[in-house]
Amino acid sequence: MKIFYYLMLFVCFVNTGIVQAQTNYPQNYFRNPLNIPMQLAANFGAIRTNHFHMGLDLRTNSQENLPVLAAADGYVSRIKVERYGFGNAVYITHPSGYTTVYAHLNKYFNALDEYVKERQYKDEKWEQDITFQPGQFPVEKGQQIALSGNTGGSAGPHLHFEIRDTKTEECLNPLLFGFVIPDHIAPIISGLYWYDRRFSTYEPGANGVAVKKAGNVYTTNIVQVNSPEISFAIKAVDKANQGFNLGIYNAELLMDGKLIYSFKIDKIHYDDTRYINGCIDYTKFIRDKMGIQHLADLPGMKLQNYSLPNSTGIIKLQDENVHSIEIVLKDVKGNTSRLTTKLQLNKTSDKISSTAKTIMANEAKTITTEDTEIAFSKNAMYDAVNFNAYEKPDADPNAVSNSIVLQSTYIPVQDEYTLKIKSNRKLTNTEKDKAVILLDYGSDKTVVKVKWNGDWAEGKFNRLGTAKLLIDNNLPSVSSGWEERALVNSSSLLLKGTTKIGDIVSFRAELDGKWLRFARVKDNFVYTFDEKCPKGSGSHTLKVTTINTAGNINTQTFTFQR
């Protein structure tokens, strides 16, 4: 009867189309998904590498396994189990037209946990993405649905919480739904920057202006510029009565009292989240760890519902008069900070010129070197780039090409580009089968297995850096530290995975000939003892097969006593 009630309630709400307008989200419909007061470690729209933060990160007092509660009546419509990203996540669809998401969980509620475990053993696969019908797992507001954790891409214990429009799948700003989070602190401004917009924001780059503060009003000396076309950017954070730096919700730019640009972060679709790179000074963010947000659109910026319609924010100065500039920052609670300054065109400098290798925003282009071809789609660049690609010798014994320097790690790309590399010697078919392209972008590396087109190896990437073609004959492996030991009182088995180049892309464990569920935790694999290997069950053989990016396969056998 209870299942029938929730099913009918859900259908009725959906059929009547009750989804609140952007400015009229229901207040107090959702409850706090934790039993402790809501404290933010990150807010909606905060700057992250290559994406906006798409929900709230709720602090769990540096602890794991706090009860996670359903924010409103509904049903579990989806779960995910993945190595990175959300880790373990629950999606609850509500009859009001919204879906809430709870991520980085340690454990689902018992009935759901058992269902997921059965599916994993049936599929012989740990990673899962399962959808459910309304009658399968109905939940009530305040019902415990999980335990909080630190799984997936989490860097510390917390609960990631999202509210989505069920129909459009847009992520909505949860702070617009009336949650009680004390906040009496206005945004804090720490920097003002201007850019010459005649060619690109990347060249010559940001020009910093010192900021002075008096209360919630900030000022600078007169900003004298040497270009008739400029734009501004702001370095600022919000606080919400606690120490964590949060993202800016709303910004407005006025010149001589007229609004010329604004942004407000109410909703973002996951398809658009990478456009964060067109909203920030990417070079400053990656190189200097500084979050600087543009108060103007870049020409390749296509993020919907973000900025003021019919205005790019680019200021075109027609004279050398002094103009007034005001920048207004607001948080969701309405706390407001203002920066006022003066702007004047002093003298005009020479404009940076394009070259044969310049890639403009909204332009497809292919760049070549002697043994390399880099093909960019028209959606690749946010702004013009005088692209520089060159080859240099590489001493890596596994390399079968030069190193290819692709511009700079400090220039972002939106779409994947195609990189083709010709080997510097004739390769056998066996060698071709183990070929990968490694792209090094400073903070990390990406390795992809290549596709061959004649003598050309091909891979797709979404960051720039230094690339090379490698032959990888190295086997992946796991190490135990517990082999041949008595594990009667142990709670789990840990295997540490290693591979010289790339990643372990496949892992399979069999206990006495039957598949055994190991969870992937970063580069490690963990089995928690359960009924599959009970205490006192004696001697066991564990066979583990791993495959790395290049396709090298290794099978190892371990024994232990239980």
Q: What is the DSSP letter of 246?
A: B
Taking domain 477-561, whether its CATH number is 2.60.40.60 is answered by no
Instruction: Name the CATH topology of 358-471.
Output: Chondroitinase Ac; Chain A, domain 3 (2.60.220)
Residue 340 CA to residue 278 CA, distance in Å, equals 25
Residue 525 CA to residue 530 CA, distance in Å, equals 16
Determine the pLDDT at residue 487: 85
Per-residue pLDDT tens for 444-489?
Answer: 899 999 999 988 999 999 999 999 999 999 999 999 988 777 788 8
Question: Locate tokens 């014994």: which residue?
Answer: 397
Question: Locate tokens 């969980």: which residue?
Answer: 105
Residue 405 CA to residue 393 CA, distance in Å, equals 11
Name the nearest CA neighbour of 231 among 258, 199, 257: 199
For the chain, domain boundaries: 2-177, 188-345, 358-471, 477-561
- Neighbouring C-beta atoms of residue 491, cutoff 10 Å: 7
Structure tokens at 188: 């804090």
Determine the pLDDT at residue 15: 36
Residue 98 CA to residue 561 CA, distance in Å, equals 50
Pairing of strands 466-471, 403-406: antiparallel
Residue 166 CA to residue 419 CA, distance in Å, equals 37
Determine the pLDDT at residue 23: 60
In the predicted model, residues of the chain with pLDDT beneath 70 are 1-23
The end-to-end CA distance of the chain, in Å, is: 45
**Residue 522: is it exposed, middle or buried by C-beta count within 10 angstroms (0-12/13-18/19+)?**
exposed
Name the nearest CA neighbour of 558 among 498, 477, 476: 477
* C-beta of residue 87 within 8 angstroms of C-beta of residue 64: no
Phi, psi of 519 (to 5 degrees): -90, 145
Structure tokens at 53: 């933060």
Determine the pLDDT at residue 7: 43
Determine the pLDDT at residue 351: 84
* C-beta of residue 273 within 8 angstroms of C-beta of residue 69: no
Task: Using DSSP, state whether 174 is helix, strand or coil.
Answer: helix
* pTM for the predicted model, two decimal places: 0.91
Give buried/exposed letters for 208-233 (b at 16+ CB in 10 A, else e). ebebeeeebebebeebebebbbbbbb
- Neighbouring C-beta atoms of residue 6, cutoff 10 Å: 19
Instruction: Name the CATH topology of 2-177.
Output: Glucose Permease (Domain IIA) (2.70.70)
